[in-house]
Structure 1
Amino acid sequence: MGLSQTQKDLIAGSVGGMTQVIVGQPFDIVKVRVQTAAPGTFSSPLDCATKLLKNEGPLGFYKGTLTPLLGIGACVSIQFGALEWAKRFFAGRNGGKELSLSELYASGAIAGAANTIVAGPVEHIRIRLQTQPSTPRLYNGPLDCARKLYAQNGIAGVFKGQGATIVRDGLGYGFYFLAYEALVQRHIRKNGGSREDIAPLWSLSYGALAGYALWASIYPIDVVKSKLQTDSLDPAKRVYASMADCFRKTWRAQGWRGFTGGLEPTLIRSPFANGATFVAFELAMRVMGNGKHEHPMLPDPTA
């Protein structure tokens, strides 16, 4: 008995997600540390990376990797599973025609919102691990971190920053998948053939551009999310009362620069991590589908 289309979507998404973590993790840890450090801690992302290498060695760039490797694999699996479901849903409503830009955006937004059930706690745990001091260590790994977060503040401690994560991913992944799918549609219209005929280099390029569309739409929200997720779990010691309060205090303290911390490593990371994600997803789908898989954007001209 073969795999169903949904199973293929989820498996290929997991492959894409794990590839994203392996490629992007060194950039991500620098981004998070710059975002959450006190002003003046690092003179630049390069300074942050240099200090990280000096103090923690090369493996320091993969600190907290187990959580994102498993968790982000699951997140991206959910993303692509929800995306493909939404695209099939909209294609069924419009009679199989090419999906409009609004339908592509809605599909991406659904995918982004769906993945936050895993992305929220996974990213919270990852950020706690990435920003903890080397000595004394607060957490002995992802499970220990999750247990301590739960012990301190229940399920709300594990899902701290969840509202910001939903806003970020719903908005951002709408633009992310809209950009990628629209570029794929344009490629097929211009060159003919089917989705499976697109060379990996083009998938890499379109994924890189999609990554820039994602971060251009959400970066200030991502900064706020990181600040909320590194804030104290103790209400008496908490710096920020809410997303809005975090925006206000960050603006008052640093102005617009307060919302750009860690932007450079993010922009450098984006084409590699996101391009690799889509290439891995597309290739995995081709392997499982013997070169053909269902992507309801355009009628298959080879059918």
Structure 2
Amino acid sequence: MADKQISLPAKLINGGIAGLIGVTCVFPIDLAKTRLQNQQNGQRMYTSMSDCLIKTIRSEGYFGMYRGAAVNLTLVTPEKAIKLAANDFFRHHLARDGKKLSLLKEMLAGCGAGTCQVIVTTPMEMLKIQLQDAGRIASALYVDCKWPCSRDSFAAAQKKLMAAQAQLNPSTGAAAAEDVPFSIVYFPLFANLNKLGQKTPDVKAPFYVSFLAGCVAGSTAAVAVNPCDVIKTRLQSLQRGVNEDTYSGIIDCARKIWRKEGPTAFLKGAYCRALVIAPLFGIAQVVYFIGIAEYILDMLPRRRD
């Protein structure tokens, strides 16, 4: 069993299931993170994550915490599937000589996974952020968008996104600047932490070890790349509040944040992001390593008989 080669379809299904479960659990915290990061130039609508969630519920109702969830739940399946499966793919090919992967090769595999993920992540993140940030700026375009998102409001968001196509290039660079370093930190750290729970190299670690390893590696990588996440969130927010800055690119965004808000602004939402990423990747790794997809695929031939 330990030596059984996991098929690509199984990896994709496991990644998709993990993403759906994880996002459903942590989406309200992710919404708070986006709104906290988008506060700028002294505007303090929210003082903390809990304050943001309480005010969101009061003004927008319980489902206001799930603005943009329809977008994320739709696209998180391919995003997580690509990220986890790509990392396994690169690790497998980098270890073809039969030797143990060096830290450098583990980082290269993570880099490849992060690069592949950006293809799906950028449009998903842009659309999700517009919907998440709608309540903060009371945008006329999105203010009526409740979760699950209505067909008209979702279409309106897509039109707005396409109209701002020029922003896709700088935000793609920002997404790559976040996702690639995140994967470079996360995957090697997770692999080495997970090994601590393996009695022998060919036996899987217990599920709770995979969960804890995913939580620790995810939160560590999330905080490490939070400055890139702040820049990405600002660039991908198409709608601006009163007196809020616009940015022409990554460097311009970083310069304005540093000059007007100080270096601590790059840590905005860091603890929210850690709280989002930790259980998200902990759950993802448990689902992935338990092998739910393998069980489902093994059952399919029996049903046909």
Q: Which structure 2 residues correspond to residues 143-222 of structure 1 after superposition, within 5 A?
A: 143-150=155-162, 152-154=163-165, 156-157=166-167, 161-188=171-198, 191-192=199-200, 194-196=202-204, 198-222=205-229
1:257 pairs with 2:267: no
CA positional deviation for 1:256:
1.8
Identity over aligned pairs, percent: 25
Q: 2:113 aligns with which of 111, 114, 117?
A: 111
Distance (whole Å) between structure 2 residues aligned to residue 132 and residue 10 of structure 1: 32
> RMSD between aligned alpha carbons?
2.3
1:185 to 1:96, Cα distance in 2 relative to 1, 3 A: farther
Give the distance between the partners of 1:203 and 1:231, measured in 2 at CA. 38
Q: What is the letter of the counterpart of residue 203 of structure 1?
A: S
Match of residue 73, structure 1, among 74, 77, 81: 77
Q: What amino acid sits opposite 2:197 in the alignment?
A: H
Q: CA deviation at 1:57?
A: 1.5
Aligned residues: 278
TM-aligned CA deviation for residue 158 of structure 1? 5.4
* 1:227-266 alignment runs, 5 A limit: 227-231=234-238, 239-266=246-273
Structure 1 residues 118, 26: closer, same or farther in 2, change over 3 A? same
Q: Secondary structure at the match of 2:174?
A: helix
Over 3 Å counting, the alpha-carbon distance change for 1:172 and 1:124 in structure 2 is: same
One-letter amino acid of the structure 2 residue matched with residue 77 of structure 1: A
Give the deviation of 1:232 after TM superposition. Answer: 5.3
Please report how far the alpha carbon of residue 210 of structure 1 lies from its aligned counterpart in structure 2 after TM superposition: 1.1
Aligned to 2:301: none
Verify the 8 A CA contact 2:130 2:239 in the aligned structure 1: no
Distance in 2, matches of 1:202 and 1:4, equals 20
Shift of 1:216: 2.7
Q: SS state of the match for residue 94, structure 2? A: helix
Shift of 1:217: 2.2
Provide structure 1 residue ranges, at least 5 long, that are not aligned to the other structure: 291-303
Cα distance, 1:192–1:107 mapped onto 2, change above 3 Å: same
Please tell me whether the aligned partners of residues 126 and 142 of structure 1 are also in contact (alpha carbons under 8 angstroms): no
Q: Does residue 99 in structure 1 map to residue 101 in structure 2?
A: yes
1:72-93 CA distance string (max 9 Å, x none): 221111111211110111011x
Change (3 A) 1:72 1:47: same
From 271, 276, 284, the equivalent of 2:278 is 271
- What does residue 34 of structure 1 align with? 36
Residue type at the aligned position of 2:160: K
Distance (Å, rounded) in 2 between the aligned partners of 1:6 and 1:171: 25
List alignment gaps of at least 5 residues for structure 2. 146-151, 299-305
TM-score by length of 1: 0.84
**Equivalent position amino acid for 1:25 in 2:** F
Report whether the alignment pairs 1:55 with 2:56.
Answer: no
Q: Is the 8 A contact 1:108 1:174 kept in 2?
A: yes
1:262 and 1:86 mapped to 2: Cα distance? 31
One-letter amino acid matched to 1:271:
A
Aligned partners of 2:274 and 2:6: how far apart in 1?
36
Distance 1:148 1:9, change over 3 A: same
User: What are the superposed Cα offsets for residues 229-272 of structure 1, whole Å, 9 maximum, x if unpaired?
Assistant: 11459xxx971111111111101111122112112222233322
Check the 8 A contact 1:124/1:159 in 2, yes or no: no
Opposite residue 132 of structure 1, the aligned amino acid is A
Q: Report the AA paired with residue 146 of structure 1.
A: Q
